[in-house]
Amino acid sequence: MTSVASVPAELSEQSTVPMLVRVAPAVIGLLYPALVWSVHAISPLALALTLLAPGVCLYLAFRLANENHYRGATMVAYFGVGAPALYTFLGGWLDSQRWLPFRANGVWVVIWCGLIILTLVERPRATEAASVRPAKLAFAHGISAAVITTFAVFHLSNHLAGVFGGGAHLAVMRVLRLVYRQPAVEVVLGSCVLFQVVSGSVLLFRRMRRFAGGLGRGPAERVGRLPAVVLCFAYQRGAAREVSPAH
């Protein structure tokens, strides 16, 4: 009879995912600010590298999801797909405030160094049976998404007003900011964004436990669920830019 203690060792022997593949998404995320810096400091052609980084993370996420023995590394890889929007969100939030003694680049290094350590120490695990679908959490996740989507609609409408000229764009922006610059609205919007991150991560983790393929049974279903991962960070980016005093 095989002992429980021997299961991780057997999974390690069966796994075909090298450690470099598991750690690479976190390393790419850590180096992303340097890629952004190179666009201004070295050459505009380096912009291609900033676009390539999330693409590489996406490829590695699919490769890790095929086995699903390293769920932490898989989640980090999907997290790396949203790194560009997350970096903009941290910059718009932390670099424009004076209440906290933290800046975006410092927080970024701490986050991704922690994720590198997580992927290094993670042990392979067998796919577990899924629990009952968290309907209440999914419903609350959808409600918070509706609030953020409402903000996004007004945000995009503000940009579309620019079709009628710069004056129209500024006029609409001043009116809208009378609403979403209110402290109560900012608290609600920020809370919804944070809840999206936490609840989305929980739902994603439970989804990965349900299927051996990570986000679904096949590549098509996984790709179909990626917008939820990327749009979460995209909404954060828009919210950070609008509530930031610098804009």
Q: Tens of pLDDT along 98-137?
A: 777 778 888 999 999 999 999 999 888 765 554 545 578 8
Mean of the pLDDT values across residues 60-71? 82
> 214 and 130 in contact (C-beta within 8 Å)?
no
What is the rounded distance in angstroms from the CA atom of residue 230 to the CA atom of residue 228?
Answer: 6
Neighbouring residues of 5: CB distance < 8 A, sequence distance ≥ 6: none
Comparing CA positions, the residue from 59, 35, 61, 37 lying closest to residue 48 is 35
Whether residue 132 is contained in a domain is answered as: yes
pLDDT at 3: 46
This prediction's pTM: 0.57
SS (H, E, C) 220-233: HHHHHHHHHHHHHH
User: Tokens in use for 221?
Assistant: 């279903």
pLDDT band at 183 (very low <50, low <70, confident <90, very high): confident
Which residue range(s) make up the domain with 141?
6-243
User: Tokens in use for 158?
Assistant: 């503000």
Whether residue 1 is contained in a domain is answered as: no
Mean of the pLDDT values across residues 217-229? 48
User: With 0-12 CB in 10 A as exposed, 13-18 as middle and 19+ as buried, what is 78?
Assistant: buried
Q: Average model confidence (pLDDT) for the chain?
A: 76
Mean of the pLDDT values across residues 29-47? 89
Comparing CA positions, the residue from 70, 38, 68 lying closest to residue 53 is 38
> 84 and 55 in contact (C-beta within 8 Å)?
no
What is the rounded distance in angstroms from the CA atom of residue 226 to the CA atom of residue 192?
Answer: 20
Cα angle for residues 78, 84, 90 (degrees, 5° grid): 105
Report the number of distinct structural domains present in the chain.
1
What is the rounded distance in angstroms from the CA atom of residue 144 to the CA atom of residue 195?
Answer: 7
Whether residue 74 is contained in a domain is answered as: yes
Q: Is the pLDDT assigned to residue 227 strictly greater than 60?
A: no
pLDDT in tens, 145-170: 888 888 888 888 888 888 788 888 88
pLDDT at 245: 44
Whether residue 229 is contained in a domain is answered as: yes
